Structures are given as structure tokens and as C-alpha cells.
Amino acid sequence: MVLMKTADDRLSGGIGTGEFLCVYWPSRGQEAIAAATGIALRPDDQLVTTYRGLHDLIGKGVPLEEIYGEMMGRTVGASRGKGGTKHIAKPQLGVMFSTGIVGAGPPVAVGLALAAKRKQLDRVTVVSFGDGATNTGSFHEAANMAALWDLPMACPRNSAIFDEDPCLFVETIRLQSRKGPVPVNPGFSIPLGLADLKRPGTDVTLIGYGRSVHDALAAADTLAEQGVSAEVVDLRTLVPLDVEAVIESVRRTRRAVIVHDAVQFAGPGAEVAAILSAELFGELAAPSRSSPAHLGRGPRETESAWLTSSFVFLGCRWPSPRPS
């Protein structure tokens, strides 16, 4: 990981000062995935990456001299300077293809994996791509064919579920720049269907998941300054949903505010509110109310939780007049 980051810094710095004359697309932030993939793969396993594949190439063992040489069109390059940044390959090390077209890698990986299966080779094909590739037809076609033919093919991602079935991970873009502690235990995992109590409280329960948990924690700090003790529950997963933990918390506080990144209609917060209303009918301090998110989005620098989140209030009495 250190080598990947240092190589990226050196290349970007050299281009910025005019020392290097080449085209380069950084892979910053993805070093951990490539490093772990490189450790897991054997020398004969194959890799298909993208034009942002510096970290993948280093993880698979391609020498820096050959990577830099290829980017600068030199004969010492992995493809003798004929491929450039977008088309670096090193078949001797299992790097079969680098693509400059979004979503073009998965079909190629399907072909490589199919060849390995038909030849009865004990070999895995890994394809690396960004989130944008999942919006292309080629990705979905390749994923279907890989599943239909049961091919030895893997797609490393930022997050995954330890399961043999396919995993869909939807990432909140406003969480990507947030910094925090990172687990270093290789066996670390978050149990599915088990909520996490982020902060204990007695007056009201703030319920959220993903980015909204950070909003809830910030709100709890503000409420504490006003003498209100807020409990914060992180759902962590929506399916399965830890209904017991949510009910237990709200039963104690008799009030709940559900924050979710969705508009009013059909959001996950509505489902949580329906469950709480049914299970705790007669125990809540007041009827439920909702405050939907605005459908439009303001300038990024002025965005706030009120522009992107919906709120469902259970057991909370509105001040007069009701907030808009």
C-alpha cells in the first residue's frame, strides 16, 4: 500500500512540474483493495484492470520501471511503449489487459475465465473496475454469463458480504471523504441484521444508517447542550433489519426520530416507522409526523442534511408553528 501511494505521488508530482510528459489517471484511495487482491492471487491467476490501474499493476508484481516506461512510451515499458497508460499488459505476470473504456473489462474477464474452465486450469480471473462500469450493459451481460457458466471470476470491491451469493453494495458518496479508524484485523466483519448503539440516551431515540448516523450523532451533541438526552441507533443493515434493538430503544425513550437518505414516499424510514407504530401503539408520547426531504439539490457547498434526508418523528410533539 505504501509503495502504491508513493508511486502515485511521484508520478502525479512529476507530471505537475513538467518532469514527466505522459497521461495519467490516479488510483488514490483504492490501495488497500489492490494490495489485498495482490496477496490473495497466485502468479498464474489473471488480472484485467482499467486505465486507473497503477495500484492493480503494482499489486500483481509489475515492476515500476515497466509501468512508468509504458506510460511515457519507452521501450522499457511493459508493452514496449506501444500501449500507453490505458493499455498496460504483462501476461507473464498474469496482467492480461488494461482497458480505457468504462465497462469493457468484465467481458474480457469472462472470456479468460471461460478458457481456464474449459482447459480445466486451477486459475482465477480478477477484473477491476469502477462504480461507473456497473451502469453499462457490458457489465451486466458479463455478470450474467459468469454466473450462468459458473466461472472462476472475481470482482474486488470496496465492501463485500462474506457469502457465496452475489453482493450489491450501494455507497453514499458523501461518506467517501469522511475519515475515521479503519479495522486492521483481517477477520473483521460486521454482523448482518445487528444494529449498533452509538450513543445511550433516555429522552429520544435517533435512528439512522450510513451518512445519517453522523447527522444523528451531531444532533445528539446539540440536544445535549439543551439538556435533552438522545440515544443514537445505527441500523447498519436494512435487510435483515434489527427490529428488536429499535423497539427496545424506543420503548424506553417513548420518542423516535428516524433519519434516512430518501424522500418521504417509500423510504426505508417509513418502514421503520410503521413497525414502531404497530409494535408500540399506545406507548409513544405522541402521534407520528414526517418531514420529507426536498426533491431538488442545492449547490454542493450549501448542502445540508435537510436537503438530502427525510425525517420521521414518533412520539414527538411539534412546537408551534410546525417547522417547514
| Prediction pTM value | 0.58
Alpha-carbon distance of 25 to 71, in angstroms, equals 11
Q: Is the pLDDT of residue 304 over 70?
A: no
Q: What is the pLDDT of residues 159-181, one digit of tens each?
A: 556 666 656 566 666 777 788 88
How do beta strands 230-234 and 256-260 pair?
unpaired
Out of 1-10, 143-152, 156-165, 191-200, pick the least confident: 156-165
Model confidence at 321, pLDDT cuts 50, 70, 90, reads: very low
Please check whether residue 205 is in contact with residue 249, taking contact to mean a CB–CB distance below 8 angstroms: yes
Q: Is the pLDDT of residue 141 over 50?
A: yes
As a three-state string, the secondary structure of 20-69 is CCCCCCCCCCCHHHHHHHHHHCCCCCEEEEECCCHHHHHHCCCCHHHHHH
Model confidence at 158, pLDDT cuts 50, 70, 90, reads: low
Q: Is the pLDDT of residue 222 over 90?
A: yes
One-letter amino acid at 296 equals G
Q: Which residues contact 280 (CB under 8 A, 6 or more apart)?
A: 247, 250, 251, 314
Model confidence at 183, pLDDT cuts 50, 70, 90, reads: confident
Model confidence at 39, pLDDT cuts 50, 70, 90, reads: confident
Please check whether residue 29 is in contact with residue 107, taking contact to mean a CB–CB distance below 8 angstroms: no
Which grid coordinates belong to 191? 454482523
Q: What are phi and psi of 125, to 5 degrees?
A: -110, 125
Q: What is the pLDDT of residues 110-135, one digit of tens each?
A: 999 999 999 999 999 999 988 788 88
Q: Is the pLDDT of residue 322 over 50?
A: no
As a three-state string, the secondary structure of 74-110 is CCCCCCCCCCCHHHCCEHHHCEEEEECCCCCHHHHHH
